[in-house]
Amino acid sequence: MSDRIYIFDTTLRDGEQSPGATMNAGEKIRLARQLERLGVDVIEAGFPAASTGDQEAVAEIAAAVKDCQVAGLCRAVKEDMDKAWEAVKHAAQPRLHTFLATSDIHMKYKLDKTRDQVLEIAHEAVTYAGSLCPSVEFSAEDASRSDPAFLVQVVQTAIDAGAKVINIPDTVGYAQPQEYAELIDYLLTNVKESERAIFSVHCHNDLGLGVANTLAACKAGARQAEVTLSGIGERAGNAALEELVMALNVRKGFYNLETGINTEQIYPSCRLLSMIIGQPIPPYKPIIGGNAFAHESGIHQAGMLKNRETYEIMTPASIGKAGSDIVIGKHSGRHALNQKLEELGYRLTRDQLTQVSEVVKSLADKKKKLYMEDVEAIVLEEVYRIPD
């Protein structure tokens, strides 16, 4: 089995389903170009049947993007597939992504269909999509809550009808990592000639397990991961691209899996998304948050100044971000404070440093965040003040 994980980015489709994350066509094209620079393998550009605006935006993205596949999402109904094909057909590498629910609860309450009817629809939909587009992906919506034996039948039907990619979504973020890995393994083992298709995973983050589930599934043999920048998406979001990719990179020896992502484009991509949707990146967000490379504790700062690997498992440069930040706060040591002041051109004696450090700590007790301007003001007051 290949060790390449294909990155399928759905920021422009599932991500846009995140409340408040609507983007206009121009913004979508800008982001799509950045995703191409980032090195994703597939861009899911939208859901063309959802609106005329979405159909036009997908068509524009399809025309603009050259280096990756462009997918259009469609339900397993002919009209949706026709609209999606209209939108993606001029892409250098088009893909139709059709989906159909397979869990008992969805089949009964959403589709009002029996298992046999769902098998028939899956067969017809994939066959029809294949008559339009050479690359067809089939998603068994709510797969993680579907009967695994029935899921084998659905997946078998889709592969036999010509699907090249089979997606097993954890639509409601219900799965647990080991259980989800076992489901992927079960499907790869029980679907006949499963190697004819690439198995894909699409994990929602309702229990905060989107990335953990995706990693577990990749270790079990899934070779496409569906993700979004910053993890935006329906409800609690999707598995975050940056977390998945950096976990595979930082723990390469553990996973032995590769992606084609240019990691130095991760931070610029997430920043661009944040600017477009007008939502700041939360400071505590892994990899890309403002605190991810900030060190406040004196013990950590002292370690960092001697060898960064004491408290950093990746460099900011590896995700395209400028250097780590030594944050001056109440836990900071004199060493870090001195270094920061030297960077600003201040040369303090040992006694002056002790004096400044004490005032800094007492101010930090009262203030949530200390800015370097605060620290400079203390130095000016304590060290350079001209007596009245």
User: Among Zn ion, ligand KIV, none, what does residue 139 contact (CB within 5–8 Å per kind)?
Assistant: ligand KIV
Of 34 and 171, the one with the shorter C-beta distance to Zn ion is 171
User: Among ligand KIV, Zn ion, none, what does residue 46 contact (CB within 5–8 Å per kind)?
Assistant: none
Minimum CB separation from ligand KIV for residue 167, in Å?
6
Regarding 14 and contact with Zn ion (CB under 5 A), the answer is yes
- Pairing state of beta strands 42-46 and 198-203? unpaired
Q: Is 335 annotated as a binding residue?
A: no
Q: Is 106 annotated as a binding residue?
A: no
Minimum CB separation from ligand KIV for residue 252, in Å?
28
Cα dihedral 176/179/180/181 (nearest 10): 120
Minimum CB separation from Zn ion for residue 65, in Å?
21
User: Among Zn ion, ligand KIV, none, what does residue 141 contact (CB within 5–8 Å per kind)?
Assistant: ligand KIV
256: left (phi over 0), alpha (psi -120 to 50) or beta: left
Minimum CB separation from ligand KIV for residue 94, in Å?
18
DSSP string, 65-107: --SSEEEEEEESSHHHHHHHHHHHTTSSSEEEEEEEE-SHHHI
Of 81 and 168, the one with the shorter C-beta distance to Zn ion is 168
Q: Is 204 annotated as a binding residue?
A: yes
Minimum CB separation from ligand KIV for residue 292, in Å?
27
Regarding 137 and contact with Zn ion (CB under 5 A), the answer is no
Size of the site for Zn ion (CB under 5 A): 1
User: Among ligand KIV, Zn ion, none, what does residue 18 contact (CB within 5–8 Å per kind)?
Assistant: none
Of 107 and 348, the one with the shorter C-beta distance to Zn ion is 107
Minimum CB separation from ligand KIV for residue 184, in Å?
15
Give pairs for 218-221: CB < 8 Å, separation 24+. Answer: 218/5, 218/248, 218/255, 218/257, 219/181, 219/255, 219/257, 220/181, 220/182, 220/184, 220/185, 220/188, 221/1, 221/184, 221/185, 221/188
Contacting range for Zn ion; rule: CB under 5 A; set: 12-20, 134-142, 266-274, 309-317: 12-20
Q: Residue 344 in contact with residue 316, Cβ under 8 Å?
A: no
Q: Is 3 annotated as a binding residue?
A: no
What element of type H or E holds 167?
A: strand 165-170
Of 184 and 336, the one with the shorter C-beta distance to Zn ion is 184
Minimum CB separation from Zn ion for residue 46, in Å?
13
The structure tokens listed for 295 are: 């060190």
Binding stretches for ligand KIV (CB under 6 A)? 14, 99, 139, 141, 167, 169, 171, 202, 204
Of 180 and 293, the one with the shorter C-beta distance to ligand KIV is 180
DSSP string, 173-240: S---HHHHHHHHHHHHHHSTTGGGSEEEEEEB-TTS-HHHHHHHHHHHT--EEEEBGGG--STT-B-B
The structure tokens listed for 189 are: 């083992």
Of 14 and 80, the one with the shorter C-beta distance to ligand KIV is 14
Count CA within 13 A, CB hemisphere, residue 374.
17
What burial letters (b/e) apply to 183-219, b meaning 16+ CB within 10 Å? bbeebbeebeebeebbbbbbbbbbeebbbbbbbbbbb
Of 60 and 170, the one with the shorter C-beta distance to Zn ion is 170
Minimum CB separation from Zn ion for residue 141, in Å?
8
User: Among ligand KIV, Zn ion, none, what does residue 231 contact (CB within 5–8 Å per kind)?
Assistant: none
Of 14 and 242, the one with the shorter C-beta distance to Zn ion is 14
User: Among ligand KIV, Zn ion, none, what does residue 200 contact (CB within 5–8 Å per kind)?
Assistant: none
Which residues contribute to the site for Zn ion (CB under 5 A)?
A: 14
Residues annotated within the binding site for Mn(2+) are 14, 202, 204, 238
Residues annotated within the binding site are 14, 202, 204, 238
